[in-house]
């Protein structure tokens, strides 16, 4: 592709940045909170807004109903070259605690910083509406300057990512034939630092459990029954304490069985990063790791599984003191899993661990919540090579391969269901306050994200079949692929 063609698209994006920002503000004003059912109408509104924007730039786009919030699907077909599937999500986290926001969470604000940077502040600014829109705006620039896209593109936007994607499997049962492509792109990840782009090649899996301990058949007077009656809060606290060993390791029997060895290419890339543990922990007011001391903090975050207590409740938690021994206590526990760990096996070993340590006269009940395995992305791929070449053109430096302690279920889902490898390329910064009050997205990285996708699409257009792989069955394989 001629360099001047790419430059025209880049110039169009820069010239029309304010219009792109106006569209982002429109989307940010829609409170599409997926975990709260009374926001279902707003989730439908966000889906309709996205379908309209895709139609406006030449996509065959529609809103598809699911058992939960709708999914947006759009297609722009090209006769030659690879076809990519771009994934994003339009749903957002709740805003509480509201009192900690410096402005209304769904009234986006441009906030100029002392160093001259401008922040876009709103719920969803970075996770994931701002990031999602960088790709749409890149496609807009291509269509405005050339009348078409460099590659075929399908769009998939869901409205339940923040709730564990409960409708996605059923949706794919019906529509996966439409989403076959050569590679999936997504923009729900971060830069390595403010000036260095990254491609995330590891995501930990997620398993969520709720455990309830019940002792007496009702709340008891702590004077009349103290000492004599078991206290479920104390029992639960002791059970929780048993989940960790003295060196910070997870102490569940068999928890570390079957963990896969780290890919040598990824290991070598990670060693080059010089992860700054002191800065990482210091940024949140901490000074030392609480995890397995046998591993560095970077390894603990990206390459090792974890067990965390996300909530605990029991008894009277209101104002003042109510002198009771409560009947029951409950805790929510989550596990981040790595390659080789089966979520259902870990669920079983966790429950067996708890049951074996529950005293007589106590009943333990479990509620199984989300469970999905880790995702590992093959670091040796021509698509990845194309993306890294494009990022270097835009950022003036080599990109890095990183891991993520978090989970993006769709990466594993499309690999399992569609045979697609993914390229997670994000432009968020570490301080963007995802899921927290005053979430923000930097105006600079919003612009750089648009420009990066313009270049990536151009570079992917050169990734022809003779460069991809000699074994077609390893590809996603779909109706949009150019089979010569």
Give the integer Cα–Cα distance in Å for 450 and 362: 57
Average pLDDT over residues 94-108: 96
Res. 226: pLDDT tops 70: yes
What distances in angstroms separate CA 424 from CA 88, 190, 453, one per listed residue? 11, 9, 12
What is this structure's pTM?
0.85
According to the model, what pLDDT value does residue 464 have?
61
Res. 482: pLDDT tops 80: no
Tokens of 132: 């999602």
Write the pLDDT tens digit of every residue in 371-381.
889 998 888 89
Write the pLDDT tens digit of every residue in 191-204.
999 999 999 999 99
Helices assigned H by DSSP within 283-408:
297-302, 343-357, 382-395
Write the pLDDT tens digit of every residue in 276-297.
999 999 988 999 999 999 999 9
Res. 209: pLDDT tops 70: yes
Average pLDDT over residues 257-267: 87
Q: Which CATH architecture has domain 3-203+375-474?
A: 3-Layer(aba) Sandwich (3.40)
According to the model, what pLDDT value does residue 79 have?
60
DSSP string, 119-149: EEESTTTTTTHHHHHHHHHHHHHHHHHHSS-
Strands 183-186 and 83-89: parallel
Give the integer Cα–Cα distance in Å for 449 and 131: 8
Q: At a CB cut-off of 8 Å and minimum separation 6, what does 290 contact?
A: 248
Share of the chain above pLDDT 90, in %: 84
Nearest of 154, 79, 160 to residue 370 by alpha carbon? 160
Tokens of 78: 């090209």
Res. 250: pLDDT tops 90: yes
Average pLDDT over residues 327-349: 96
Average pLDDT over residues 251-271: 90
Sign of the torsion angle spanned by Cα atoms 166, 373, 154, 5: positive
Give the integer Cα–Cα distance in Å for 298 and 183: 28
According to the model, what pLDDT value does residue 476 have?
34
Tokens of 327: 């009947």
Cβ-based burial of 295 (10 A; exposed 0-12, middle 13-18, buried ≥19)? middle
Is CATH 1.10.3720.10 correct for 205-259+305-372?
no
Share of the chain above pLDDT 70, in %: 95
Q: Binning pLDDT at 50, 70 and 90, where does residue 368 land?
A: confident
Q: At a CB cut-off of 8 Å and minimum separation 6, what does 22 contact?
A: none
Ranges of each domain in the chain: 3-203+375-474, 205-259+305-372
Q: Which residue has the tokens 């490898």?
A: 421
Nearest of 167, 184, 112, 61 to residue 440 by alpha carbon? 112
DSSP summary character for residue 293: T
Average pLDDT, the chain: 92
| Number of other CB atoms surrounding residue 139 within 10 Å | 26
In contact, 415 and 477? CB cutoff 8 Å: no
In contact, 327 and 217? CB cutoff 8 Å: yes
Give the integer Cα–Cα distance in Å for 50 and 129: 10
Give the integer Cα–Cα distance in Å for 113 and 120: 11
Q: How far is CA 13 from its chain centroid?
A: 26
Nearest of 207, 165, 246 to residue 417 by alpha carbon? 165
In contact, 366 and 330? CB cutoff 8 Å: no
Res. 480: pLDDT tops 50: no
Average pLDDT over residues 1-25: 97
Res. 467: pLDDT tops 70: no
């Amino acid at each position: 592709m001629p360099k001047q063609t790419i430059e025209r698209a880049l110039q169009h994006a820069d010239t029309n940045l304010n219009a792109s920002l106006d569209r982002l503000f429109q989307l940010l004003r829609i409170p599409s909170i997926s975990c709260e059912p009374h926001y279902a109408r707003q989730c439908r509104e966000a889906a309709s807004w996205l379908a309209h924007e895709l139609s406006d730039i030449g996509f065959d786009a529609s809103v598809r109903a699911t058992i939960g919030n709708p999914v947006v699907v759009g297609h722009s077909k090209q006769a030659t070259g690879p076809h990519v599937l771009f994934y994003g999500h339009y749903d957002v986290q709740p805003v509480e605690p509201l009192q900690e926001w410096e402005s209304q969470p769904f009234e986006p604000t441009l906030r100029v910083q002392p160093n001259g940077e401008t922040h876009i502040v709103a719920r969803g600014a970075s996770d994931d509406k701002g990031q999602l829109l960088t790709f749409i705006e890149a496609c807009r620039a291509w269509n405005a300057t050339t009348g078409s896209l460099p590659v075929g593109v399908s769009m998939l936007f869901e409205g339940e990512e923040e709730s564990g994607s409960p409708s996605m499997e059923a949706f794919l049962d019906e529509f996966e034939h439409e989403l076959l492509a050569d590679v999936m792109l997504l923009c729900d990840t971060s830069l390595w630092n403010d000036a260095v782009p990254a491609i995330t090649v590891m995501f930990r899996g997620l398993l969520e459990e709720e455990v309830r301990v019940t002792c007496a058949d009702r709340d008891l007077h702590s004077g009349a029954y103290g000492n004599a009656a078991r206290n479920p809060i104390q029992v639960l606290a002791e059970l929780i304490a048993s989940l960790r060993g003295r060196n910070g390791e997870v102490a569940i029997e068999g928890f570390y069985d079957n963990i896969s060895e780290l890919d040598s290419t990824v290991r070598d890339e990670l060693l080059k990063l010089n992860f700054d543990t002191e800065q990482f922990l210091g940024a949140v007011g901490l000074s030392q790791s609480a995890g397995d001391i046998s591993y560095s903090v970077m390894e603990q975050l990206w390459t090792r599984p974890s067990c965390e207590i996300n909530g605990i409740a029991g008894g009277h938690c209101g104002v003042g003191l109510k002198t009771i021994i409560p009947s029951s206590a409950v805790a929510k526990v989550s596990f981040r899993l790595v390659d080789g760990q089966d979520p259902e096996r870990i669920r079983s070993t966790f429950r067996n661990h708890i049951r074996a340590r529950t005293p007589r006269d106590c009943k333990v009940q479990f509620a199984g919540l989300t469970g999905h395995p880790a995702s590992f992305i093959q670091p040796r791929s021509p698509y990845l090579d194309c993306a890294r070449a494009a990022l270097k053109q835009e950022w003036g430096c080599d990109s890095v391969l990183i891991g993520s302690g978090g989970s993006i279920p769709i990466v594993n889902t499309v690999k399992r269901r569609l045979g697609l490898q993914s390229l997670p390329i994000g432009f968020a910064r570490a301080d963007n306050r995802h899921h927290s009050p005053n979430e923000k997205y930097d105006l600079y990285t919003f612009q750089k994200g648009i420009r990066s996708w313009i270049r990536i699409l151009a570079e992917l257009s050169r990734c022809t079949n003779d460069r991809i792989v000699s074994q077609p069955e390893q590809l996603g394989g779909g109706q949009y692929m150019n089979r010569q």
